[in-house]
C-alpha cells in the first residue's frame, strides 16, 4: 500500500465493483489473538464510496494502528451488506467464566454496528445451552446462526469465540468477524457439571408442573426472580444457604400466604412461595397470583382470572418486576377504569364478572383503612421482647433461636400487613396523580411530611455528632443495620462506627435541596378525597390522612424492628460459630435448621466442627456453580431451561431532576470510599434496607440492577425525590458500567450511558 496504493485501489475496484459502498476494517496482528483481543481498539469505516473515499479510509485505518504498527498488519476491504434485518455478536461461551452457553446479543434493524457500538435501542439476548438446542419459531434465523456457529467451531477446532454476524432478508447468515475469546478463568469446571445442574432443575419443574387442587383453574406453572417479595433484590440470585433458609422460614414458607388470607385474599396454603432451581430462588408466580384473588370470588371465576394474569405476564415479560402495577389487580383506586377496560378487551370476562371482581377488591381496599393501628401495636411487642432477650444470660444459639421465632411470629405478619397497607396508600396517591386529580407537587408535598426511619436516621445523626451521650444512643438505635439484611458476612453499622454511622452523620445535605411546601397538598387534597368518595372508598379527611401516614411510616418502622431481630440473631449465630472454629463465611453456607438443631446436640466439639466445615465447603462449591448458571428471569416452559430470550427491562423511574453525572459502582461486601460518592450516580446490583446510609451521602442519583416499583429502594427514592432508575435489568446495567457518564431523565423515563 505504501509503495503502490493506486494499483491496489484498482484491484479493489475490479474485484468489488464501483456500485456498492464498502467497509474498510482493521486486521492488526495485535488484535484477535489467543492472549489478547483489543476488540474495537482500531478503526472500522463504514459506507465508504469506492470511487471517492477509499484511499482516505484505508489511510485512516492504518493510522489507527499507531506509530509502532507491525509492517505485516493488514487492512480488510469488503462490500457493505444490504437488506440487513438483524445483526449482533455471539459468544460461544460466557464472557466471565467460559461456561457452556451461547450468548447471542442482537438487534433487529439494518444497522450492523448497533450492538458493537453500544448504540442499540432495542437490544435482545438469546441464551442457548451448548449441549442442547431447541429450534425456535421466532426469530427463525436463530436456527441458521446456531448451525453456522457449530460449523465454525468444527472448522477451527476451538469453541471459545466472539462472532459478529448479520442476517439478511432471506435469513442468510453473514459472518463479519470471528475472534477467539481470551479466557479469564482457566480453572472452570467441566461443562457437564453445569449441564447436570440444569437437568436437575428441569426435573424439579416436571415434578411441580401439576397445579395443586386448592389453586383454581388448573393453571400451568410459572416462576420468576422478581415478582412478589423480590428475592433477587433482598437475598440475591445465588444466595448462601443461611440467607436462603432464613428468608424461606421467616417469610416465604407460610407467613406470606397467611397475611394474604387475613387481608381478604384467597387462601393458597400450604404454599411455599419460593422454589429453588439449582440454588436460584424463584417465586412461584402461579401461587403468588392466586394469593391476590379475592377470597369471595367463585372458583370458576378465580380460575379464569388466574389464567388471564399468567397469560398477560407471559406476553408482557418486561412487567415481571411491576406485576402489581401492570398485571394483577389487588385493590381499587382512582384509575380503576384502566384495568376494567383491559379485562373487557380480553373478551374473557362478562360485564357481571368484572363488576363482581371490582366489588370484592373494593371491600378489601375499604377494610385496609382501619388496619394499620392494629399492626403497629403488634410490631411494638417484637421490639419489647428483643430487649429482654438481648439482656438475658441465654447461650448464643438459644438467643438466636428465640429471636428468629419471635421475628417470624411477631414480626413478619404485621410487617407484611403494613407493607400491604402502604402499597394501597401509595397506589391511591400515584393513581390520583397519573389521573390528573392531584399534581405531582401535591403528592410530593404530602410525602415530604412523612417521618420515616430513614429521615430520622439522618436527623438523629446530625444531632449525635457533637454529643457523646446522643452518639451512644444513636449507635444503639441504628447499629443493627447492615447492607445485606440476611447476610451474616455483611458488616453491621455498629461493627465499626466510622464505617457507616460516622460517615453518615458527617455528610452534608445538598445546598440546593428544595424544601417542598405542605401548602400544595393542602390546596389539592380535597380533590383526592372526592376521588375516593366517587369510587366508594372512605373519604373522611382525618381517617384517610391517618391511613396514609400510619401505613407508609409503619411499613418502614416495622421493617426496621424486624431487621433488628434478624440482625441480632445473626450476631448470636456468629458467636456460636466462634466456639466451633466456624467463621462467618463457613456459617453463611449452612442451613439455619442444621445450626439450630445443635441446641441440644451431645456430639463432641471436634465432631461438630469437622462435620460443619465439610458441609459448608460442599455448599459453597454448589453456590459457586449456581452463580455461574444461565437461567431466565421468568420461566414459563420447560424449554426455557435450554434456550431463552431476554428483552431489555423497563426501569422504574423516580425523581423530577434530569442529571448527567459520573457514577460509582458499589459491589456487595466490598469496602466503599465514601469520599467518592458525593454528587455521583450510584450503581448497585441490589439494595435492601441496610443500604439506607446511601441517602445520607449527598448522592446525585441511584441505579439498581434488581428492584421493583414497590421495592425498598423505590420507596426511598420517591421519599427523597432522588433521581433513580430501579430494576434496570442486566443489559442496561452492563451498558452503564461500560460508560463514562450516565444520563438519567426520570421525567422522560430515559437512562443511558455516555462515552
Q: What is the chain's percent helix, strand, coil content, to nearest 5? A: 50, 15, 35
Cell numbers linked to 164: 459478529
Residue 25 DSSP code: E
Report how far residue 117's alpha carbon sits from residue 40's, in angstroms, rounded to the nearest whole number: 9
- Check if the beta carbon of residue 643 is closer than 8 Å to that of residue 129: yes
Instruction: Reply yes or no on whether 146 is catalytic.
Output: no
CB hemisphere CA count around 330 (13 angstroms): 27
Phi and psi at 678, nearest 5°, equal: -55, 125
Instruction: Tell me the C-alpha to C-alpha distance, in Å, between residue 549 and each of 375, 459, 628.
Output: 14, 19, 43
Nearest to 234 by CA among 220, 223, 217, 246: 246
Q: Which residues lie across from 87 on neighbouring strands? A: 107, 166
Q: Find the helix packing angle between 541-579 and 413-434, rounded to 10°.
A: 140
Cell numbers linked to 375: 399492626
Cell numbers linked to 367: 377494610
Q: What residues contact residue 611 under an 8 Å CB cut-off, 6+ apart? A: 603
Q: Enumerate long-range contacts of 156-162, CB under 8 Å, 24 or more apart.
A: 159/92, 159/93, 159/130, 160/92, 160/93, 160/98, 161/90, 161/91, 161/92, 162/37, 162/39, 162/89, 162/90, 162/91, 162/92
Report how far residue 19's alpha carbon sits from residue 21's, in angstroms, rounded to the nearest whole number: 7
Report how far residue 375's alpha carbon sits from residue 268's, in angstroms, rounded to the nearest whole number: 22
Instruction: Give CA torsion, residues 701, 705, 708, 710, to 10 deg.
Output: -40
Q: What residues contact residue 608 under an 8 Å CB cut-off, 6+ apart? A: 580, 598, 601
Report how far residue 123's alpha carbon sits from residue 264's, in angstroms, rounded to the nearest whole number: 41
Report how far residue 546's alpha carbon sits from residue 270's, in angstroms, rounded to the nearest whole number: 35
Indicate the burial class of 81 (C-beta count within 10 angstroms; 0-12, 13-18, 19 or more).
middle
Sign of the CA dihedral with 344 first, then 347, 349, and 351 last: positive
Cell numbers linked to 423: 402499597
Of 123, 329, 417, 712, catalytic = 712
What residues are labeled active site? Answer: 712
Amino acid at each position: 500500500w505504501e509503495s503502490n496504493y493506486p494499483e491496489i485501489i484498482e484491484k479493489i475496484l475490479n474485484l468489488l465493483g464501483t456500485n456498492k459502498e464498502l467497509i474498510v476494517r482493521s486486521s492488526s496482528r495485535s488484535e484477535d489473538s489467543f492472549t489478547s483481543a483489543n476488540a474495537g481498539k482500531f478503526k472500522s469505516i463504514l459506507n465508504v464510496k469506492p470511487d471517492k473515499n477509499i484511499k482516505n479510509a484505508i489511510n485512516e485505518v492504518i493510522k489507527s494502528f499507531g506509530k509502532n504498527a507491525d509492517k505485516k498488519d493488514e487492512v480488510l476491504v469488503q462490500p457493505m451488506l444490504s437488506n440487513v434485518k438483524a445483526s449482533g455478536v455471539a459468544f460461544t461461551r460466557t464472557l466471565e467464566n467460559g461456561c457452556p452457553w451461547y450468548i447471542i446479543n442482537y438487534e433487529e434493524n439494518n444497522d450492523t454496528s448497533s450492538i458493537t457500538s453500544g448504540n442499540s435501542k432495542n437490544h435482545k439476548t438469546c441464551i442457548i445451552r451448548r449441549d442442547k438446542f431447541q429450534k425456535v419459531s421466532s426469530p427463525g434465523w436463530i436456527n441458521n446462526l446456531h448451525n453456522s456457529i457449530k460449523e465454525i467451531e468444527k472448522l477451527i477446532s476451538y469453541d471459545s469465540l466472539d462472532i459478529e454476524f448479520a442476517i439478511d432478508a432471506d435469513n442468510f447468515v453473514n459472518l463479519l468477524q470471528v475472534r477467539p475469546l481470551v479466557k479469564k478463568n482457566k480453572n472452570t469446571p467441566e461443562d457437564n457439571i453445569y449441564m447436570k445442574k440444569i437437568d436437575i432443575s428441569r426435573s424439579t419443574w416436571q415434578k411441580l408442573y401439576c397445579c395443586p387442587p386448592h389453586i383454581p383453574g388448573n393453571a400451568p406453572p410459572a416462576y420468576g426472580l422478581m415478582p412478589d417479595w423480590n428475592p433477587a433484590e433482598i437475598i440475591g440470585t445465588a444466595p448462601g444457604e443461611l440467607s436462603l433458609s432464613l428468608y424461606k422460614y421467616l417469610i416465604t414458607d407460610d407467613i406470606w400466604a397467611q397475611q394474604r388470607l387475613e387481608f381478604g385474599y384467597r387462601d393458597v396454603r400450604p404454599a411455599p412461595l419460593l422454589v429453588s432451581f439449582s440454588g436460584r430462588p424463584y417465586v412461584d408466580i402461579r401461587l403468588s397470583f392466586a394469593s391476590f384473588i379475592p377470597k369471595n370470588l367463585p372458583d370458576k371465576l378465580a380460575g379464569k382470572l388466574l389464567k388471564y394474569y399468567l397469560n398477560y405476564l407471559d406476553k408482557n415479560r418486561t412487567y415481571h418486576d411491576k406485576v402489581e402495577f401492570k398485571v394483577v389487580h389487588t385493590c381499587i383506586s382512582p384509575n380503576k377504569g384502566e384495568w376494567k377496560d383491559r379485562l373487557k378487551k380480553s373478551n374473557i370476562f362478562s360485564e357481571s364478572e368484572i363488576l363482581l371482581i371490582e366489588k370484592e377488591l373494593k371491600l378489601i381496599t375499604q377494610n385496609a383503612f382501619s388496619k394499620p393501628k392494629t399492626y403497629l401495636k403488634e410490631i411494638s411487642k417484637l421490639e419489647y421482647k428483643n430487649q429482654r432477650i438481648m439482656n438475658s444470660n441465654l447461650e448464643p444459639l438459644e438467643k438466636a433461636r428465640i429471636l428468629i421465632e419471635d421475628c417470624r411470629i411477631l414480626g413478619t405478619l404485621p410487617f407484611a400487613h403494613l407493607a400491604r397497607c402502604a402499597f394501597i396508600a401509595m397506589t391511591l396517591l400515584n393513581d390520583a396523580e397519573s389521573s390528573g386529580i392531584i399534581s405531582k407537587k401535591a403528592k410530593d408535598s404530602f410525602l415530604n411530611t412523612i417521618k420515616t426511619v430513614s429521615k430520622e436516621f439522618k436527623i438523629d445523626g446530625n444531632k449525635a455528632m457533637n454529643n457523646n451521650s446522643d452518639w451512644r444512643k444513636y449507635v444503639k438505635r441504628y447499629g443493627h443495620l447492615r447492607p445485606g439484611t440476611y447476610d451474616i458476612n455483611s458488616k453491621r453499622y455498629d461493627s465499626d462506627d466510622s464505617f457507616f454511622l460516622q460517615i453518615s452523620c458527617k455528610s452534608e445535605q445538598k445546598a440546593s435541596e428544595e424544601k417542598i411546601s405542605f401548602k400544595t397538598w393542602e390546596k389539592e387534597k380535597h380533590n383526592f378525597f372526592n376521588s375516593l368518595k366517587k369510587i366508594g372508598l372512605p373519604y373522611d379527611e382525618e381517617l384517610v390522612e391517618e391511613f396514609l401516614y400510619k401505613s407508609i411510616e409503619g411499613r418502614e418502622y416495622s421493617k426496621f424492628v424486624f431487621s433488628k431481630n434478624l440482625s441480632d440473631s445473626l450476631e448470636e449465630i456468629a458467636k456460636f460459630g466462634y466456639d466451633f472454629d466456624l467463621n462467618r463465611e463457613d456459617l453463611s453456607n449452612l442451613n439455619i435448621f442444621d445450626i439450630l438443631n445443635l441446641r441440644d446436640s451431645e456430639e463432641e466439639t471436634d465432631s461438630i466442627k469437622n462435620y460443619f466445615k465439610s458441609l459448608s465447603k460442599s455448599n459453597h462449591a454448589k453456590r459457586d456453580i449456581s452463580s455461574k448458571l444461565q437461567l431466565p428471569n421468568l420461566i414459563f416452559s420447560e424449554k426455557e431451561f435450554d434456550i431463552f430470550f431476554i428483552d431489555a427491562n423497563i426501569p422504574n423511574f423516580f425523581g423530577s431532576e434530569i442529571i448527567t453525572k459520573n457514577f460509582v459502582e458499589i459491589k456487595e461486601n466490598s469496602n466503599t470510599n465514601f469520599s467518592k460518592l458525593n454528587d455521583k450516580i450510584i450503581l448497585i446490583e441490589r439494595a435492601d434496607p441496610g443500604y439506607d446510609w446511601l441517602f445520607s451521602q449527598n448522592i446525585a442519583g441511584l441505579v439498581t440492577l434488581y428492584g421493583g416499583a414497590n421495592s425498598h429502594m423505590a420507596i426511598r427514592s420517591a421519599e427523597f425525590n432522588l433521581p433513580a432508575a430501579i430494576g434496570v435489568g442486566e443489559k442496561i446495567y452492563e451498558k452503564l458500567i461500560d460508560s463514562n457518564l450516565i444520563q438519567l431523565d426520570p421525567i422522560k423515563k430515559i437512562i443511558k450511558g455516555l462515552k
